[in-house]
Structure 1
């Protein structure tokens, strides 16, 4: 039986859908006002394309693209904006949030728990069911883009235009195409990947084999989504609704932030007593230092002082947590 588990962590909330002891779907939510479903007061800061697109500026100074834009609105006008896509991290130029003009009453975005519905809160003490189901392995796959499956492997690549999967393996091409399609469908769901997705399957001459690969995706990937057929070169494209950053985007395009939040989780669950010392690469320690409220919350939860130790010899993902008394 499938069960949703939620952790209200420090710096992020996380959820997993566990079925037969494994994670079939996961989500990470970072704090912030510009989350899908929120209706916020704003002003139309600029009109980029009259009657089509503009920029909304919110009370905290953050901005979002407004699209579509009514032609009767002038720059400086007070509006209510409903967030329809959160900001998406990208190297160099992150995608801004998107919103629409609405008459709906002001409201915050639904929380992760409210979005998921029936679920169980996973406590920071006792058996770690996230780890038992493969949480660290999921984050490692999201970070590396390397995903193994019986008979082959996927290589996942993030681009500003789409998420790409390349399928490789030793199985006969027709079998590999079907197995790879299944692995891609599972990965898309596990990592909450939305938007445009490209899958490069082995080239198979048989139209029936190409159709079988496409049907394998249909059987495992929940609707709604649209897809093309598998073409003669083995390429298939999927389009899913995109409201939030995927887990690979959160992990790969903010490596220091993702590592810092993972260390906070480890520190909260670390056995022993007394002060906790978090050792990590300087960029990770810098993230923690810029968010003193995270460290204060960790200290409150564990009832002990939190110390930071930068170690230039450590890789970004190689931090450690030590308790003063084991």
Structure 2
């Protein structure tokens, strides 16, 4: 199994696995948010109709209940899902009540120095990965995957040319790779071209199986070409993070700027400028060893920000 690499950026921590000089798995943890697997001491806030706990700063949903503890009781909780961007209550972080002193093992990882002249992530396609997340479009030989995030599930639609069976098989490989690469969890629907023949549909399902790590469950490909997958959901996907475009683009701009030295100027859309927190700019200034100036430009696309030597 390829080891995880971690890169501590401004406002976020990036996790990747790289094989064959390409990113095979990636996720982003936002600074200041609970981390999956983390233990926290909290207080039970409610047991009905839905169990809730709070550590004084963050409120957690407890899908498994409060473990028999009454309201107001102190408890140790383990974060089982990081918060999902969006205002819906169910997108709050999830946790479970655990015994005091319980511990979970984090996956082995190697920390990458950042900034570093050897940009390992960029060489493996980090910028391309972000472009896929912001656009929802992923090209593969003969077609394109169109990824849409809905409250119920992440939908992957297959478009392309050629024989439906050939297109569906190529899309099965591409979809499985995209699910891993963008940390898509929960309920996932893939709409393949309609193909005839049970053997072909079975082969499409087997190709998805070969591209995904367990655990997950899936249905068979039905007669209309639809397949559903359910994977553990511990982190927001890159597509969900990209839905907060100003914040997503602000952190991407900071990563770009951190590689410069001395006086730095950031040119960006006003919405991105508003998302750049003062403490982030101060941290950037310390990294580059000079003052950071910010210039808003409404004519720029929201993803068109760039950093330059001032």
For the criterion TM > 0.5, the same-fold answer is yes
User: Offset of 1:93 from its aligned partner?
Assistant: 5.5
Tell me by how many angstroms 1:300 deviates. 1.2
Inter-CA distance 87–212: structure 2 relative to 1 (3 Å threshold): same
Q: CA deviation at 1:122?
A: 4.5
Distance in 1 (CA, whole Å) between partners of 2:2 and 2:42 is 41
CA contact (8 A) 2:4 2:16 kept: yes
Q: 1:266 aligns with which of 238, 256, 259?
A: 256
CA distance in 1, matches of 2:66, 2:116: 52
Question: Does residue 287 of the first structure (1) align with residue 278 of the second (2)?
Answer: no
Distance 1:284 1:33, change over 3 A: closer
The correspondence for 1:241, drawn from 229, 232, 235, is 232
Which one of 95, 101, 111 corresponds to residue 99 of structure 1? 95
Match 2:245 to one of 238, 244, 255? 255
| Unmatched tracts of structure 1, length 5 or more | none
TM-score computed with the length of structure 2 as normaliser = 0.93
CA contact (8 A) 1:39 1:80 kept: yes
Out of 72, 75, 78, which is 2:71 matched to?
75
SS at match of 1:269: coil
Q: Give SS of 1:124's match.
A: coil
Residue 284 of structure 2 aligns to a residue whose secondary structure is: helix
**Corresponding residue to 2:193 among 194, 202, 206:** 202
The equivalent residue for 2:308 is 322
- For 2:212 and 2:67, how far apart are their aligned partners in 1? 39
What count of residue pairs does the alignment treat as equivalent? 310
- 2:91, 2:69 → 1: CA distance? 24
Cα pair distance change 1:120/1:152, threshold 3 Å: same
Q: Which residue of structure 2 aligns with residue 151 of structure 1?
A: 142
Q: Which runs of 5+ in 2 are unaligned?
A: none
Which whole-Å CA distance do the structure 1 matches of 2:54 and 2:118 have between them? 45
Work out the CA distance in 2 between the residues paired with 1:244 and 1:4.
15
Task: Give the CA deviation at 1:120.
Answer: 5.2
Give 1:307's aligned residue. Answer: 293
Q: For 1:119, what is the secondary structure of its paired residue? A: strand
Pair 1:128–1:235, CA change in 2 (3 A): same
How far 1:302 moved relative to its partner?
Answer: 1.2
Change (3 A) 1:251 1:86: same
Shift of 1:323: 0.7
RMSD, aligned CA:
2.1
CA separation in 1, counterparts of 2:204 and 2:68? 49
The 2-side partners of 1:101 and 1:93 are apart by 20
Assess if the C-alpha contact under 8 Å between 2:142 and 2:161 holds in 1.
yes
Aligned residue among 125, 133, 136 for 1:134: 125
Q: Please state how far the C-alpha of 1:32 moved relative to its aligned partner.
A: 2.6
**8 Å CA contact retained: 1:90, 1:160:** no
1:118 deviates by 4.2
Which of 12, 34, 52 matches 1:55? 52
* TM-aligned CA deviation for residue 43 of structure 1: 1.7
